[in-house]
Amino acid sequence: MISGPQLPFPANEPEMLFCEGTEGAKQLKQALEHRDVVEIPAVIGGKRLFSNDVVEVRAPHDHQRVIARIHRPNETQVREAIASARSVARDWANLSLASRAAVLHRAAEIISTRHRVRINAATMLGQSKTIEEAEPDSACELIDFFRFNAYNAQKIHAEQPLSVATAANRADWRPLEGFVYAVSPFNFTAIGGNLTTAPAIMGNTVLWKPSEKSALANFICFEALEEAGLPAGVINFVPGEAELTTRIALSSADLSGIHFTGSSAVFQSLWKRVASNVGAYRSIPRLVGETGGKDFVVAHPSADVDALSIALIRGAFGYQGQKCSAASRAYIPKRLWGEVSKQLRDRLAELRVGDVADPKTFMGAVISEASHQKLSRVIESSKQDSGVRLIFGGKTWSDPGYFVEPTVVQVTDPRHTLMQEELFGPVLSVFVYEDNAWAETLALIDATSPYALTGSVFSTDRFALHEAENVLVNAAGNLYLNDKPTGAMIGQQPFGGMRASGTNDKAGSFMNLLRWTSPRVVKETYLPVRHWKFGA
Ligand code: NAD
């Protein structure tokens, strides 16, 4: 039953503009210039643990600059984190939902005010985001996750079975029995805040393994939750080596669920490990994973070319193409391609790649040396490939950071690997189709890639939009009509995909929260039956 204040449907956190000359811009500049190296401990049962197993975190656009040092916990400490999550589980579950929601609301206020600049600066430095990419992520979306998770939990708790004159029935929205293992990716600071607090608002306790590359911003998020009064042990910050931490977490009989966002390959490896161990768990662990994408943009011959080319630029190259939803394969009819390719070339020639602290920069660096090497290899081999034509870009350089120019390639074979595999970088592959091959092109899109995360359809013809929606029904969990395939907002476009893109549990919505509860239904009869014979 609900107790405590009734939360209204939350409004999305408004974006703060850090325009030159404003107080916000001044504070941001100072935070970016701050040269202190942050020591990031594991935090287990509220205790900060420093170790000798240290990993440096460097700014991808300036890789000589160390911004943080992660103190990785050892095997014993990971086990202690599990024990800590278990020891506080009953008390946390027994708190009213209103008390748990209050923690998230306070954390939202803390991020919205005193930690806003700090967490944005950490996201810019650690993940190489411009402020235009950091603010919607590490401030707005993180805050939205906190507020919407609290609101949606209330909505679930309000859902109750029918009671009658002779009996009362009630759903007791219990957490799962055990702990949830939350594993977050580098590319959105907000995701770590959601993977942990979605289970926590439903009463679960959590082990959080962040990505090393986003550990600084994620640690600030964790500190905001602590400041907001999150009791020790409810979320344990465990920035350990991925394999070791996962092996220990997944071998515990108390594992009740995995809340993962990252690549499809890693999620599949976790799934296999759980499957091979399934008899050893106290419950059947819930597996929730939002994973990779090879997101499409398809233009009908009736498409608005200006809107299309802007959507391709923003969708493919925002945050260097390192969004799971980034446009990475496009299908353009022959009759539009001349104008679209001209607009792409003209506009991309103006697009600045470089230091994210410079307000004129549109694209920073890619996340790591490994990613840079992979993208450089793919681009170089495309240049040698007779089936690929370079339309724009193609340069990469690794000093002072891991930079890749926005790159557009045209393929002659629509099933080229460039149209199928997730590259996770600023490379857009285009297939130009015959103007009368709209229906075949839709079928091709559906069958080309194993992923099904996001997609966009551009057309001014209502019948064409309708046809695309039908044919592509299983090709994307989030479909956009006349818009870029990125930029989902919490509460507006619940996010997630199918096929190799994950379990489609719609992050930030009530659907995701349902995975973290195991309801008990209690019936109380007022007048027990006193005869064993029917009709007596
Ligand atoms: P990743 O799979 O490399 O890492 C994700 C997390 O898994 C990190 O915490 C990492 O340390 C951990 N990890 C890595 N190897 C592991 C292993 N062998 N065992 C256990 N844990 C391991 O992904 P990433 O590079 O951080 O993020 C990019 C990927 O995430 C892309 O594929 C992108 O599409 C996907 N992504 C998907 C969504 C979505 O909502 N669908 C959102 C963001 C990112």
> Which of 133, 266, 271, 454 most suits a substitution to test ligand 1, by most atoms within 8 Å of the C-beta?
266
CATH architecture label of 23-291+502-521: 3-Layer(aba) Sandwich (3.40)
Nearest protein CA to atom 26 of ligand 1, as residue: 185
164 CA from centroid of ligand 1 (Å): 49
Pocket of ligand 1 (CB under 6 A): 183-188, 191, 209, 211, 242-243, 246, 261-263, 266, 269, 290-293, 324, 422, 424, 453, 495, 497, 501-502
Nearest protein CA to atom 6 of ligand 1, as residue: 185
Nearest protein CA to atom 39 of ligand 1, as residue: 290
> Which of 123, 129, 141, 183 most suits a substitution to test ligand 1, by most atoms within 8 Å of the C-beta?
183
Mind listing the pLDDT tens digit for each residue in 79-106? 999 999 999 999 999 999 999 999 999 9
Please name the residue that has the structure tokens 């029918």: 162
Please name the residue that has the structure tokens 């930690």: 115
CA–CA gap between residue 431 and residue 332 (Å, rounded)? 6
Nearest protein CA to atom 21 of ligand 1, as residue: 242
> Which of 258, 263, 454, 499 most suits a substitution to test ligand 1, by most atoms within 8 Å of the C-beta?
263
Per-residue confidence (pLDDT) for residue 535, from 0 to 100: 78
* Active-site entry in 290, 422, 440, 524: 290
pLDDT at 536 over 70: no
Give yes or no for a contact between 124 and 481, defined as CB atoms under 8 angstroms apart: no
Where do the structural domains in the chain lie, given as residue ranges? 23-291+502-521, 295-481
Nearest protein CA to atom 8 of ligand 1, as residue: 211
- Radius of gyration for the chain, computed over Cα atoms and rounded to the nearest angstrom: 25
Nearest protein CA to atom 23 of ligand 1, as residue: 262
Give yes or no for a contact between 501 and 290, defined as CB atoms under 8 angstroms apart: yes
162 CA from centroid of ligand 1 (Å): 42
pLDDT level of residue 2 (50, 70, 90 thresholds): very low
Q: Tokens in use for 502? A: 């994950």
* Residue 294, phi-psi category: left (phi > 0), alpha (psi -120 to 50), beta (remainder): beta
Mind listing the pLDDT tens digit for each residue in 205-235? 999 999 999 999 999 999 999 999 999 999 9
Strand partners, 286: 257
183 CA from centroid of ligand 1 (Å): 8
Q: Please report which residue ranges of 351-494 form alpha helices under DSSP H.
A: 369-384, 438-448, 462-471
* 378 alpha carbon, distance to own chain's centre: 25
CA–CA gap between residue 438 and residue 419 (Å, rounded)? 17
CA–CA gap between residue 131 and residue 62 (Å, rounded)? 16
pLDDT level of residue 1 (50, 70, 90 thresholds): very low
Give yes or no for a contact between 402 and 424, defined as CB atoms under 8 angstroms apart: no
Q: Annotated catalytic, 290?
A: yes
**H or E stretch at 103:** helix 97-112
262 CA from centroid of ligand 1 (Å): 2
211 CA from centroid of ligand 1 (Å): 8
- Mean pLDDT (the chain) is 97
Q: Please report which residue ranges of 182-251 form alpha helices under DSSP H.
A: 189-201, 215-227, 242-250
Number of other CB atoms surrounding residue 171 within 10 Å: 17
CA–CA gap between residue 503 and residue 496 (Å, rounded)? 8
Per-residue confidence (pLDDT) for residue 446, from 0 to 100: 98
DSSP type of residue 502: B
Distances (CA, A) of 37 to 1, 28, 67, 126, 465: 47, 17, 5, 12, 51
Best CATH choice for the domain 295-481 from the list 3.20.20.80, 3.40.50.720, 3.40.640.10, 3.40.309.10: 3.40.309.10
CA–CA gap between residue 327 and residue 350 (Å, rounded)? 20
**For the residues 310-335, what does the mean pLDDT come to?**
98
260 CA from centroid of ligand 1 (Å): 8
